Structure 1
Amino acid sequence: MWSRTARSVQNIIYSVIGQSVALLLSFILRIVFVRTLSNEYLGVDSLFTSLVTVLSLAELGVGSAINFSLYQPLAKKNVNRIKSLMHLYKKAYTIIGLAVLIIGFCMVPFIQNIGNVKSSVPNLKFLFSLFVVNSSISYFYSYKKSLIVADQYRYITVIYTYVSFALMSIVQGIVLIIFKQYILYLVTMIIFTFLQNLFLSKKADKMYPFLKDTNIDPVDKMTTRLIVRNAYAMSLHKIGGVIVNSMDSVIISAFAGIKQVGRYSNYLLITNALNLVFSQIFTAIIASVGNLGAEVNRRHTKEVFNTVFFAGYWLVSFSSCCLFVLFNPFISIWIGKGYVFNTFVVAVIVLNFYIYQIRRPVLTFRDALGIYWYDRYVPIIESGLNLVISIFLARQIGVSGALLGTIISSLLTNVWIEPLMLYRHGLKSKTIQYYCKLAGYSVVAVIHIAVVQLLVLTVTAKIRNTIISFVVMLLATIVFFNVVFVAFFFKSHDFKLVWKLMANIFITVKNKLVKG
């Protein structure tokens, strides 16, 4: 039987490969989109995507709560308990899918007022209806997908997801080139969303034949109370998270215009792609951490957390450096110089990305250990602060103001409260060491990025060809960042732990390949 590390490594490898392919296809599809439809369609697409993300509030943390309840019965192979939980999960997600559909359709008559949409794009209400349908149908089979993920076989869902996405992107590109119709583009999205969920559901039925059993015991009252308690806490986290992460485009549309949303969406495509990569990596280890938390003592869990935190810092600081150095050169080549923001806006976008991603290890262990209750009201406070500050600053300085509101509200709340709750109630340890590391790492990251930027600009100063210059910038950034990083940290205990982990991962992958 594979170890937790082996399962996590397999899940991460498939996730990163899948997301890399998806990112490449997204770039190509965006080029086709921009050249066949107007910039206003791009803004509408980004705005409606943000709005249907808000609709996901209907899920209210039910998935995370039931997933946490699955870790222990899966570890102990308690089939009867798994069946009971899955039956509950099915009923919950059927209700959620219907709720998303109903709430979404109730929003349709007011869609032009939401986000102050002033656009020449026709049939806005019908277009938003298609987004609503696509969002709702994804819920009806989600419970089976979650069982596969909770059982540490996330790579299977990744294969289905990204094969479907690849085929969808190709068909959407062909539809845009031949018909130049945004409606057909969205209909294609709905068809592939349905097929992906249908095929994944059938795969789950083959993996877990007991899902078809009709002799199912009801979930006991104690478990039900625990799920309701965790779902309530997670619902507050969900509401706050969605408002904070999805309202930027709405606020930008309201105070800077739909065309600025279109420009921002190009940067957002890249950061969202990286967000998904990070999400896939850390989500890939949640089930393993949950399994670990159910079986092993907290001391070992804390050691694993420290290793994951430093590895996460390495990844996020490297990604942030690449974004800051390469964002505008890439946008200029990819879409055109007319879509480029100034350096200050880029810095704010990158800082927003860094702050969100540096929280990933804490959020991963919080979800895996089921610590949702203790900071349940913090996301609501954060989202309230975010709306007030973002609207105020957006009125003053536009796009960067909306994003600065997100950064400030996060620094005032989640950045310091989330680890406090994790250490106090999950790891049973003092938080001061984490805070010191986070502050020190962040200062080092800023200096590090500034040094790399200076070195890269020096190296490429005399190169006139934009594509060659970009390639050299990319290679120089990768080399300079990691050389400086290793030189600075190679004697630290955390670096040694991560290096040991990387060696174990290499051995695990090698053994897997040898065994075929």
Structure 2
Amino acid sequence: MRKKKLLYNIVSSLTYQVVLFVSGFIIPRFILRAYGSEVNGLVTSLTQFLGFISLLDLGVGAVVQSALYKPLSEGNMQRVSEIVNYSKKFFRTVASLFLIYIVGLCIIYPSQIKSNFNPTYIVSLIVIISISLYAQYFFGIANQLLLNADQRLYVQNIINTITVILNTVLSVIFILMGGSIHIVKLTTSCVFLLRPLLLSAFVKKFYKIDRNIKASGEVVDQKWSGLAQHCASVVMNNTDVFVLTIFASLTDVSIYSVYHLVVIGVRQFVQAFTNGFNALFGNIYAKKEKELLDKTFNSYESLLNYLVVSVFTVTSIMIVPFVSIYTKGVDDVDYTYPLFGILMAIGQALFCLRLPYNTMIVAAGHYKQTQKSAMIEMLINIVLSIVLVFKYGLIGVAIGTIAAIIYRTLYFVYYLSRNIMKRSIKPFIVHIAVDVIFILVAVFASRVISTEPETYSQWMIVAIQKSVIVFVVGLIINVLFFKSDYIYILNKFIRRKNNSHSY
């Protein structure tokens, strides 16, 4: 059953990420053309600042999900009810704190940025964008965590896919009708209010959660240790825009947002393959199936390395040509920054390469043990980004992020080898060495194809041609070095196919 759920999660995640990826390009493009780079930068900045609300959950979300793995695998619904009820109460407190944060943002933000907008314009936009985030914390997060822990990520993926499509269609219609950015974002907030309501209805129907059960003892024993892990995640996702907003300009934020749009879309595509593995590894680890865990992890590590290096090699090659086409007709700012595009791709590739190690640490629930590394990563990112932004601007914040990711990736590898899986760090070193060889050969081989497309159709043709070259080169090199892992994956696939034919 868990294999079937994993398949559902991966397929639904991929579908959702494709829809989100397409929507993520369509709406900002219409905003850029209709309202200009400064409005686009303002919307991006406000969205990131409001994203800091997730800092208020103190990392409890991830810890709650880890705490649910064992009782769900045992069918202990009393314990599940205790954890779910606790998390709902906690996140309602977070929702109340969010209101205070919004008020503070409305007072401080307008006076701290360089822009041509009046305070009323900015404050009203803050309130509108915050609506859906408030509903998410008040109604939805506890239900999301329950479904994720039970390997039912596909439920919220389906709901999210439907709401993203609806939001994209309505947003484009209102932009074309000449509506203000406030009307467009109010539409988004109203559509996304459907998410927590639908999740709540699903949980009520399929889970026997006793709402009257109160927690006995410590429900989530590592909730404070989860704070450091969560801070790192929030900072990694928000520091760049925060630093650019305070120390640079909204036009720099707009440039950053366009490149970020591309690389984060690729990262989310990669993560769609990994979304189901947190719960899978958590289930296997809880049942102490060590041999299965080792084989599954090794094959997962090899396959993900191949996927990450392939897609981000193509991304680093094709990102600037795409941005040039995407921003054609937007004349208020020059969006051509080749080095910045490459650095952005490198940063997200490194983040994705550490996913196997992070996934296993989360599945094992080792929050307290690894919290110090999270704080160090956060400080590296903040300090380097602030120091470098004055001289190097966009390049500076990209370097700060890369340095922080490198540090914690190395820490994850070391910690996993010593404390959870008792495996050598040699496989990681070999993977990195093979990745370097792969990139050099792939980039050299792909140069036979021109990289100067002028239209989306030309760009698509070139991207497909280069992708074929890169993926084929990568597959040959990876199979040569990691033959046993690929044989294991192939055998699992053949066995599953034979089992499906036997019904």
Residue in structure 1 matched with residue 274 of structure 2 by the alignment: 282
Tell me whether 1:436 sits opposite 2:432 in the alignment. Answer: no
Higher mean Cα deviation, 56-65 or 249-258?
A: 249-258
CA gap of 1:506–1:335, structure 2 versus 1, over 3 A, is: farther
CA gap of 1:289–1:171, structure 2 versus 1, over 3 A, is: same
Task: String of CA shifts for 1:192-233, please: whole Å, max 9, x gaps.
Answer: 22111101110111111x22x3442x4342x53xx23x2222
Q: Which aligned pairs between 1:311-350 and structure 2 lie closer than 5 A?
A: 311-336=303-328, 339-350=334-345
CA gap of 1:503–1:479, structure 2 versus 1, over 3 A, is: farther
SS at match of 1:319: helix
Counterpart of 2:369, as a letter, is: Y
| Alpha carbons 2:91, 2:142 under 8 Å: kept | yes
Higher mean Cα deviation, 432-441 or 382-391?
A: 432-441
2:472 to 483, 492, 506: 483
| Alpha carbons 2:479, 2:486 under 8 Å: kept | no
Higher mean Cα deviation, 397-406 or 384-393?
A: 384-393
| Alpha carbons 2:443, 2:470 under 8 Å: kept | no
- Residues of 1 paired with 2:54 and 2:502: CA distance? 43
Offset of residue 38 of structure 1: 1.7
Residue in structure 2 matched with residue 117 of structure 1 by the alignment: 114
Higher mean Cα deviation, 26-35 or 189-198?
A: 26-35
TM-score, structure 1 length as denominator?
A: 0.90
Counterpart of 2:181, as a letter, is: Y
- Residues of 1 paired with 2:479 and 2:52: CA distance? 43
SS at match of 2:421: coil
- Residues of 1 paired with 2:101 and 2:491: CA distance? 50
Offset of residue 101 of structure 1: 2.2
2:416 to 422, 425, 449: 422
Counterpart of 2:189, as a letter, is: I
CA gap of 1:317–1:82, structure 2 versus 1, over 3 A, is: same
Residue in structure 2 matched with residue 404 of structure 1 by the alignment: 399
- Residues of 1 paired with 2:66 and 2:298: CA distance? 22
* Aligned residues between the structures: 498
Task: String of CA shifts for 1:88-147, please: whole Å, max 9, x gaps.
Answer: 111111111222222222222001345x33233661122112233332211122211221
| Alpha carbons 2:264, 2:348 under 8 Å: kept | no
- Residues of 1 paired with 2:335 and 2:494: CA distance? 40
- Residues of 2 paired with 1:507 and 1:330: CA distance? 41
Residue in structure 2 matched with residue 250 of structure 1 by the alignment: 242
Q: Which aligned pairs between 1:13-412 and structure 2 lie closer than 5 A?
A: 13-114=11-112, 116-120=113-117, 123-140=121-138, 141-208=140-207, 210-211=208-209, 213-216=210-213, 218-221=214-217, 223-224=218-219, 227-228=220-221, 230-336=222-328, 339-411=334-406
Offset of residue 360 of structure 1: 1.0
Counterpart of 1:93, as a letter, is: F
Tell me whether 1:501 sits opposite 2:489 in the alignment. Answer: yes
Q: Where in structure 1 are there 5+ consecutive unaligned residues?
A: none
- Residues of 2 paired with 1:36 and 1:83: CA distance? 49
Counterpart of 1:119, as a letter, is: N
- Residues of 2 paired with 1:397 and 1:318: CA distance? 29
TM-score, structure 2 length as denominator?
A: 0.92
CA gap of 1:22–1:372, structure 2 versus 1, over 3 A, is: same
- Residues of 2 paired with 1:316 and 1:402: CA distance? 22
Offset of residue 152 of structure 1: 1.0
- Residues of 1 paired with 2:141 and 2:350: CA distance? 29
Offset of residue 400 of structure 1: 0.7
Identity %: 20
| Alpha carbons 1:145, 1:204 under 8 Å: kept | no
CA gap of 1:166–1:386, structure 2 versus 1, over 3 A, is: same
Higher mean Cα deviation, 446-455 or 88-97?
A: 446-455
Offset of residue 253 of structure 1: 2.8
| Alpha carbons 2:128, 2:186 under 8 Å: kept | yes
Q: Which aligned pairs between 1:457-468 and structure 2 lie closer than 5 A?
A: 457=450, 466-467=455-456
Offset of residue 261 of structure 1: 1.1
- Residues of 2 paired with 1:282 and 1:202: CA distance? 27
SS at match of 1:376: helix
